[in-house]
Amino acid sequence: MNAITRPFMIANQWSTGEGEPFVSINPADGTESARIGVASKSDVDAAVRAARAAFDHPSWRALKQHQRAAFLYRMADLTAANKEVLARAQTADNGKSMNESRAQAASAADVFRYYGAVCESTESEITPQRGPSVTMTVYEPVGVVAAITPWNSPITIEAQKLAPIIAAGNTVVLKPSEVTSQVALEYARLYIEAGFPEGVVNIITGAGDVGRMLVDRPDIDMISFTGGTKAGQMIAESAGRRLIPVVLELGGKSPNIVFADADLKRAANVVADGIFSGSGQSCIAGSRIFVQREIFDGFLDSLVTASEIHFPQYPENPSAISGAMSSFHHRDLVAAFVDRAKLDGGRVVIGGEILRGGDYDKGAYYPPTIISDVTNQSRIAREEIFGPVAAIIPFVDEADAIAQANDTDFGLAAGVWTSDFAKAWRVGRALRAGTVWINGYKEGSISAPFGGFKRSGIGREKGVAGMRSYMQAKSMYWRIE
């Protein structure tokens, strides 16, 4: 067993904490990837105090926008230069293919660069004069932000939280998932190298109890959380009692709707990618596939063929599109969902069993799985599985597609496939989801706001709106008459 414990970082200083370190297991082969220090209550307190002191200190608070942006540009350069290190840290923790992890590291560098540009170019506003005073709206940082991130894509998700929080002028305490702590610790090293003042960025590690201690601190000014809906609800309750703002990016059960007049070959390939890439461990995964009845059987055959390239491989394989599941525990949860769907009458068209033999015996692998003969009321179509499992359901017409797609507790994303421009617009506008793709799926842009309707979350990340989420508007009146 590796005896070295990776420390966390508070005020640019490293610490392994007072408690027993926890072990991160590489789900691709079951080996130990790292031992991680655990923050105690005193560590959490110290991290929040450091963030508060940094927020109040002129070395950060008094910086002009272009000066703050310079830190983000340095982070962009360092992230790009350390792309391979970040990718290997993520893959070792959660089993993603190295191809996907490298692509995410390149994207993360773009995130820091984008928010550097947003930071230095965002302007205050002169509002129309209605009386004897000139009125102006200025935007100021909220203060100390607690950020909590999940295990599925820490390279991108942590960049998408930290960059706008910093761009807005806040300070932050980040608590990554205990499943994937190594990426955050690599970012901590880069923040020190980038020259950030002490306490602007603090990163503490540990399990859920560390996250709870962080969000319950009375001197936290805002909470940003990406993760499960139940945890998000508890965080919202805590924040509501203190009347502090939150950004919550939560679960999804996203519909991908295929009309008979779509480009069916392209739709089959992209719909398969929309649910099976990354082993389905994505909040925007298109896990409910609605297909117009008259093309249902033929499209299902095409979808099965398109799904075959997504069978998982050892993450280091050059051809790997999907790697392992994030953990053995999560693999077993996904398998249990599928087993229940079978008992409920669902028909497994492809996949549906834990993979065995070769690399599969050592790691936490699960195949692309399509389940037919279910309705939109089936449990497999109602609950987020967060794995490579799709329910495929027929629909009759446009009204039926909209009604079924919207009949869910979630509203994060959706896809529409049709060659009819007017229909695409009508359906896209009718869907209750924060992101709608038309004749595509799972495309991302850091400049487009991202978030959900209903139980999929509160607030927006990405884009200028993503930075404004971490700011407060102040109206200034300057009497001139």
The residues carrying an active-site annotation are 161, 249, 283, 461
Q: Determine which helix (DSSP H) or strand (DSSP E) holds 421, and give its type and residue range.
A: helix 421-430
Quote the CA–CA distance of 156 and 281 in Å, as a whole number. Answer: 14
The residue type of 389 is: V
33 pairs with which residues across the strands?
none
- 130 exposure class (CB count in 10 Å sphere: 0-12, 13-18, 19+): exposed
Q: For 277, phi and psi rounded to 5 degrees? A: -65, 145
- 107 exposure class (CB count in 10 Å sphere: 0-12, 13-18, 19+): middle
Q: Are strands 413-417 and 255-258 parallel, antiparallel or unpaired?
A: parallel
Classify the C-alpha dihedral 220-226-230-233 as positive or negative: positive
* Distant-in-sequence, close-in-space partners of 291: CB < 8 Å, separation ≥ 6: 258, 299, 300, 392, 393, 394, 395
Using DSSP, state whether 241 is helix, strand or coil.
Answer: helix
Contact 197, 100 (CB under 8 A): no
Structure tokens at 255: 């519909």
